[in-house]
Structure 1
Amino acid sequence: MSDDTIRLVTIGRILRRRWRLLAVLTVVGALVGFGTSLVFPPRYTTSASVLLPGAWEERELLTQTEIATSSVVLDRAAASLGWTGVSGRELRDRVSAEAADGNIIKISGTAETPERAQKLSDQVAQQFVAFAARIAGDTTDPETTSGPEALRQMVVQTSRRITELADAADPGQTVESVQGRTDLEKLRTALQEALDKLDQADPAANKANMVVMGSAARPTGEAPPTRMQLVVAGALLFFLLAVIGHLTAARMSRRLRTEPEIAAALGSALLGTVDVPAEQLADRPEGGGTRARIRRLLGVDVRWDVPAPQASGDEAGRRIRYRRVYARLRDRLPDARRLLVVVPDGDEIARRAAGQLAAEAESEPSPGSSGKGHPLLRVVEVPVSQPLVPDRDDESGALVVLSAGSWTAGELTGIAEACADADHEVVGIVLAGMVRALPARSAGRTRDAATPALAIGDHATGGSG
């Protein structure tokens, strides 16, 4: 199986076992996004287009976009709008310009309402055209002309005067009259050529005639990010953070999962493994305070990073496992009368297994009135944060029962040290695992299959006695 497949299986396990927590965090993220939308009011954006006639290079268009958002243009636009508390400096964050295809400059304005966004874009476009015309030497007053335009008008007037002089010359065919008309025609041709050269030498005269291509369209929708986008983004962000948090916690987990690691941390030998049906854990009693109820409600009281429980046999087969573990314990300590069964606090699987093991010990027949060779088991739960084991009374040692993958090496070492501090020797370790019970079979088959198992168990117990 590849790493990618393992990751997909892990994510699927998170979704199945933590869906309540993920749903709550997703709703919280959506509420955070909604609150953010209330802090930042909606914005509306629209654009006005300005056409630049003539031939323009790319760098020249970029220069015009910078001019459109310059402080001079924005200050004039703010003064023309007359909005309270809005200056050219504040408009710098609301106005942008970009060069589009076809020598078009798009000026975009953002405001709190569609009407204000439309007015802002139109006003900035008009101020940009006026300022660009002023830079190029043009003027918006049609009554006054200067520079190249005045020269053009003078050339036109001179051409007309030459025509009048040519018509007023001697219509005869004398040498003087023909020579005079020829000289006047040459003068008019020279003036026209000079004007054409002037136009070629000053292309900015044609480029100065920028045109605003109509009023900006009134926006009909909010500019991103909209309220819905913020709500969806908040929900998605919290969902992803929750999944990543689970994966990171599992990646950094130091909990021991293998039998050799657990045995080394507790400094004792493993006596065997026993099974606890998942149905028994589901029927655990309610309680534990408000915090425990909240954990059960969110589903965080069940481990997600453990594989799905495997199918197990019937109740008779599981009891055989308990009896074999107890038989190994009895063979290990033939003269013991009582043993202390230490269970880490919060390990529900181990607590169920320890209770079943103690019940099996009580059901064992005693070979004599003294009960020698059949130690009784007393179960105690020890907190792993500050482990404290009861002092030795008449117990001959401590048996640690726990589930794999639930505790770190430091926590198990602390339990072993607490046992040693209370003068209890850790005589063995029992691992408890959660399994899935198979559906019940018919009554006839159950009796036929269960009778030999119980007979073997009784015979083995009697023989060992």
Structure 2
Amino acid sequence: MSEDTIRLVTIGRIVRRRRRLLTLLVVVGALFGYGTSLLLPPRYTTSASVLLPGAWEERELRTQAEIATSSVVVDRVAAALGEPGVDGVELRERVTAEVADGNIITVSGTADTPERAQHLADLMAREFVTFAAQVLGNDTDPDAAARLEALRQAVVRTDRRIAELADAADPGRTVESVQTRTDLEKLRTALREAVDKLDQADPASDKAVKADMVVMGPAVRPAGEAPPTRTQLVAGGALLFLLVAVVGHLVAARMSRRLRTESEIAAALGSTHLGSVDVPAQRPAHRPAGRGPRALVRRLLGVDVRWDLPAPRRSGDEASRQTRYRRVCARLRDRLPASRLLVVVPEGDGIALLAAERLATEAAGDSSPEASGTGYPTLRVVQIPVSQPMLPDRDEEYGALVVLSAGHWTAGELAGLAEACVDSGHEVVGIVLAGTVRSGPARAGGPTRPAAAAELAPADDATGVPG
């Protein structure tokens, strides 16, 4: 298909011409989403917040969030729930923890009822705080704390002894006494700085602050289901089926091998394009003939009409359409004066059948011969199936004129049609393309039939034989 398959106007054409089929697919998609919602149990999610007092780095907060969903905490929660068949592995898929602003860890739980979801979130927060307090508290060694306190007491006693020695020294009478007092003051200053650094390095006080985590109230009972809800599944199913249908139409049109241009059709049939004629779009031949349940279903769904053909252009009045038919007859007369031709129409091409019948009527209606003594060729219309083309043997007809509409047949189908013409002894003398148009307003007073015939000339028109 041409590049117009990716344009919005093409999508609009699909929606407009396939609205019945798309509506049915949307309904089927909605039912599919509803059925899926019945298979999936409802889910409710709520969360509880845990405040971590003190100064925490972002890396430490992420570590605490990982601890909140660790196997130890989850196993404790599963044991506290006491639900049969619920273990830590299954419960780990229903709980999450993430870092929020302000040193807050948000712990979430999902269950099939609002009450269970609330209970699960509260248990997760409580077990997390308990386990975190144990981890931080176990890092403090009692023996190390006792040794550290003893060291402080020894430093205090040493500081006092230094002060006593400084007082006992002869203040300022000899150089040695001054030097001794100076060394003692330096030693006491160094001891005090060491004690200050030791107090700063003591993690006991900081851990005591950090270990005091607070659960900020119970979890809120959820008022609605967690996504995807039943409404979302129904809407998603309808939208999914609609998108698949539209994309399927575009892919099928892109992969279509039906010929659309005059040159491609003429090359496939091995003949010359003699002109194009118009058929009003409101005529009933738009729909292909067919009976039976399949044809009825196709007609009800609106898939019996091609969607990928462009919208019919607006035509002039009846006189302008009649002029196109007469020009094609004039070109046939110039090629084959006073001859009989077989007009071949592919079976199922209702537009081409209407055009061929009118072309035969126009040719039969010309009873006035030209100056050369010849008139339009006599045309006989026949329909042949494209799947198994078969034409009657040559009798009085000189050749075959193929009338068809663009965008309906592949190169292989048209090649088989041309071979069937050759096998039956009919030479393909030309091709006429039929297209649908929207009828324009009738012209008030046009030329009469003899006058219009007199105006005909073998010159090419805008949609006739390319020059």
Q: For this structure pair, what is the TM-score category when the shorter chain's length is used for normalisation?
A: 0.7 to 0.9
Q: Any conservation in 2 of the 1:199–1:205 contact (CA below 8 Å)?
A: no
Give the counterpart of 2:437 among 435, 438, 454: 435
CA contact (8 A) 1:18 1:300 kept: yes
Measure the CA separation in 2 of the matches of 1:244 and 1:455: 53
Quote the offset at 1:150 in angstroms: 12
State how 1:85-104 maps to structure 2 within 5 Å: 85-104=85-104
Following superposition, the deviation at residue 44 of structure 1 comes to: 0.5
Alignment counterpart, residue 414 of structure 2, candidates 389, 408, 412? 412
SS where residue 273 of structure 1 aligns? strand
1:23 alignment partner in structure 2:
23
**Per-residue deviation, 1:194:** 10
- The counterpart of 1:222, out of the listed 225, 232, 236, is 225
Output the CA distance in 1 between the equivalents of 2:233 and 2:287: 42
Deviation at 1:83, TM superposition (A): 1.2
Count of aligned pairs between the two proteins: 408
Equivalent residue, structure 2, for 1:213: 216
- Aligned to 2:212, the other structure's residue is in SS state coil
Task: Describe the superposition over 1:47-93 as per-residue Cα deviations: whole angstroms up to 9, x where unpaired.
Answer: 01111122211111111111111112111111110112211111111
What amino acid is the match of 2:94? R
Residues 393 and 424, structure 2, Cα contact 8 Å, conserved in 1? yes
Are the structure 2 counterparts of residues 219 and 407 from structure 1 closer, same or farther at C-alpha, using a change threshold of 3 Å?
A: same
Measured after TM superposition, the shift of residue 236 of structure 1 is 1.8
Query: In angstroms, what is the RMSD of aligned CA positions?
Result: 3.4
CA contact (8 A) 1:281 1:349 kept: no
Q: Does 1:127 align with 2:123?
A: no
Does the C-alpha gap of structure 1 residues 328 and 136 become closer, same or farther in structure 2, counting only changes over 3 Å?
A: same
Per-residue deviation, 1:117 = 0.5
Question: TM-score if structure 1 supplies the norm length?
Answer: 0.78
Higher mean displacement: 69-78 or 15-24: 15-24
- Measured at CA, do residues 270 and 195 of structure 1 come closer, stay the same or move farther in structure 2, by a change above 3 Å? closer
* Mapped partners of 1:366, 1:396: distance in 2: 21
**Cα distance, 1:224 vs. partner?**
0.8
Residue in 2 that maps onto 1:13: 13
User: What one-letter code is carried by the residue in structure 1 that aligns with 2:306?
Assistant: R
**1:148-182 CA-partner distances (Å, limit 9, x unpaired):** 59969x98xxx9xxxxxxxxxxxxxxxxxxxxxxx
Is the contact made by 2:289 and 2:348 (CA closer than 8 Å) also made in structure 1? no
> Are residues 233 and 284 of structure 1, via their aligned partners in 2, closer, same or farther at CA, if it must alter by over 3 Å?
closer
Query: Equivalent residue of 1:136, what SS?
Result: helix
Q: Write the mapping of 1:130-209 to structure 2, written as runs, cut at 5 A.
A: 130-137=130-137, 196=199, 199-200=202-203, 203-209=206-212
- Superposition TM-score, scaled by structure 2 size: 0.78
**Partner residue of 1:288?**
291
Q: Match for residue 343 of structure 2?
A: 341
Structure 2 portions without partners, runs of 5+? 154-191, 457-467
Quote how far apart the aligned CAs of 1:296 are: 2.4
- 1:211/1:150 CA distance change after superposition, 3 Å: farther
The whole-number CA distance in structure 1 between the counterparts of 2:117 and 2:382 is 73
Aligned to 1:420, the other structure's residue is in SS state helix
CA gap of 1:283–1:245, structure 2 versus 1, over 3 A, is closer
Q: What is the SS of the residue equivalent to 1:351?
A: helix
2:178 alignment partner in structure 1 = none
Closer/same/farther in 2, CA of residues 387 and 63 from structure 1, 3 Å limit: farther
Distance in 1 (CA, whole Å) between partners of 2:200 and 2:288 is: 101
Tell me by how many angstroms 1:5 deviates. 12
1:423 Cα deviation (Å)? 2.7
- What residue in structure 2 maps to residue 65 of structure 1? 65
Q: Quick check: 1:344–1:402 contact (8 Å CA) kept in 2?
A: yes
In structure 2, give the amino acid aligned to 1:73. V
Q: CA deviation at 1:109?
A: 0.5
Report if aligned partners of 1:256, 1:405 keep a CA contact under 8 Å in 2: yes
Which secondary structure state, in structure 1, belongs to the residue aligned with residue 283 of structure 2? helix
